[in-house]
């Protein structure tokens, strides 16, 4: 029988129900968070699919779940899941952040970024006049 690490490294599904703390490697940057935080995004999204085994995942050499995405855009998404507060400090491209939020399927963040994007565009337009 294959181990969980071997199954995950081959892209097979792994039962994450017993994992309270998850270690992620997003584009080469390590993140640690709780299973509960990732599942707070709701159902039918990237995180719930990964943790339920509906999609396979890979692990890096340290055993962290590998996600081949931009870590600079993942950080504000993870912070949003932790606090339910949207902070755009340090985010240079809100359209790219919106794209990532859509990729991960965090509907409430997509909604906030869509509303925020219009506000940011309006401020930029007024400033350029």
Domain count, the chain: 1
| Alpha carbon of residue 118 to chain centroid | 23
Q: pLDDT tens digits, residue range 81-123?
A: 999 999 988 899 999 999 999 999 999 999 999 987 655 544 4
The helix or strand, by DSSP H or E, that contains position 23, with its residue range, turns out to be strand 21-26
The rounded distance, in Å, linking the Cα atoms of 95 and 44 is 22
Q: What is the CATH number of the domain that holds 108?
A: 3.30.710.10
The pTM of this model reads: 0.78
Host domain of residue 119: 4-85+92-128
Cβ atoms within 10 A of the Cβ of 7, count?
A: 18
Q: If you average pLDDT over residues 34-45, what whole number do you get?
A: 94
Structure-token match 């504000």, residue found: 76
């Amino acid at each position: 029988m294959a181990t969980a690490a071997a199954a995950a490294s081959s892209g097979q599904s792994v039962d994450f129900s017993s994992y309270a703390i998850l270690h992620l490697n997003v584009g080469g940057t390590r993140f640690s968070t709780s299973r509960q935080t990732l599942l707070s995004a709701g159902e039918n999204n990237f995180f719930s699919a990964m943790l339920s085994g509906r999609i396979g995942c890979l692990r890096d050499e340290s055993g962290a779940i590998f996600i081949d995405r931009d870590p600079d855009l993942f950080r504000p998404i993870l912070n949003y899941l932790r606090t339910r507060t949207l902070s755009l400090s340090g985010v240079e491209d809100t359209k790219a952040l919106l794209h990532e939020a859509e990729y991960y399927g965090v509907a409430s963040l997509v909604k906030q970024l869509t509303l925020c994007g219009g506000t940011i565009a309006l401020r930029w337009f007024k400033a350029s006049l």
